[in-house]
Structure 1
Amino acid sequence: MRITKPSRNRELRFGVWRKSSFSGCNGECVETASISDGTIAVRNSNNPGAGTLVFTRAEISAWIAGCKAGEFDDLI
């Protein structure tokens, strides 16, 4: 995982960001974007300028598998 600032990377600033259809309309959503180097960027839609986390596809795949398996259910 790398931590970066969107203002330093044009692709992150102007890329195609998307959020889950399960997200509410209150603006507090997690957004993701696929980056041309094959990584996946994640940011807070409520404050996109605060920074972006960038993960490899393997890291994101492992995290999604954990979510599907209920490993993080105690957080909600």
Structure 2
Amino acid sequence: MKNENQYNLDAEAQQPVLKEPDVFMRTFSSQEEADLYRLRKNLARTDMERFEMLCRMMRIGKMLNPQNVIEK
């Protein structure tokens, strides 16, 4: 059986491309394994996906700003 985290090199860009099945939840046996998985997944993202994630994080940060939180 093949390892589920198979990486192929793109011929033009020479960057790793993540090939994995759709998984609902992933568990890791160590923090290092989880960090390595996230690093490889981030390397496989396109610039547009990275930009969308940055915008999403900025919107969430603005919503969670203490000045915007109303206590009842």
| TM-score interval, smaller chain | 0.3 to 0.5
Task: Determine which structure has greater relative contact order: mean sequence separation of CA pairs < 8 Å that are 6+ residues apart, divided by chain length.
Answer: 1
TM-score by length of 1: 0.31
Larger Rg: 2
- Structure with the largest fraction of strand: 1
TM-score by length of 2: 0.32
